Structure 1
Amino acid sequence: MANYSISVNGKQHTVEALEDMPLLWVLRDLIGLKGTKFGCGVAQCGACTVHLNDTAVRSCSVPVSAVGENKITTIEGLSEHGDHPLQLAWQKYLVPQCGYCQTGQIMNAAALLKSNPKPSEDEIEQTMAGNLCRCGTYNRIKAAILTASSGSKS
């Protein structure tokens, strides 16, 4: 066990954890941020997606010891009042059905819009292909991202 000081959503947190403890469990179990979801545990589904310095990463495969000085953003830190353009577009298009994958979907889409504010449909499809939605709302996800890209503040 070791102490790690990590920046999550603009706040410093000191946690005691094993060096190989996945960031996912640090966020959920040690810090108490439950928005990031466990899906597969092997970085294949995207439910656990967070930002590490504005880059989308699968938190189930990032050990806390690898975080260092990097800034972590979770769904809770994307927007203080839930009014990020993606969150609003998700509501407009009624994207969530079961909702389980949606935080990972939104975080991956937010990283895309941060690096490419006006992505094409093909770029959206390529970027989002690694995030699985068991309910199959892919067309609504794409429509929401296109709408958010017209007024993105990601």
Structure 2
Amino acid sequence: MKGLKKQRRIQIIVLAVLAMVGAMAAFKFAMPDALQYFRSPTEVVASPPEPNETFRIGGLVEEGSLVRGEGAEITFRVTDGNGVVPISYTGLLPDLFGEGEGVVATGKLVEGTFQASEILARHDETYMPKEVIDALKEQGVYVEPGASAAMN
């Protein structure tokens, strides 16, 4: 009787370990882009990521850099006060997107230009994503609490 209980426990432990390994493998292989890292423009300029790596970049849309192309094409530059990265995007922009405003873009760096697949802008006049505020503060750009960022 003792041998059966011990054997049953070992079988349950082995099945639990196999289930955990299977779940981790499914997460790793089924969702390769599920984790996207945030980078500031200074970090991207200092050490460019691999061309196939999807990541987020954020900062302020540089004044005078917004250029609308054919159809829904748009190019602009994002800065954190030190680094500047050109961004190219095709699609509809959020209503509150504009020069001097905070932005977070998701995409890939291709030949020095960030090819954005998604553009996020703040949702009202006082909000800016925490990652953008932190990156701007690291670069010495003054950010008013609860308001848009201003160059120092």
| Higher relative contact order (CA closer than 8 Å, sequence separation 6+) | 1
Write 1 or 2 for the structure with the bigger share of strand.
Answer: 2
- Rg larger in 1 or in 2? 2
Write 1 or 2 for the structure with the bigger share of helix.
Answer: 1
Q: TM-score, normalised by structure 1?
A: 0.24
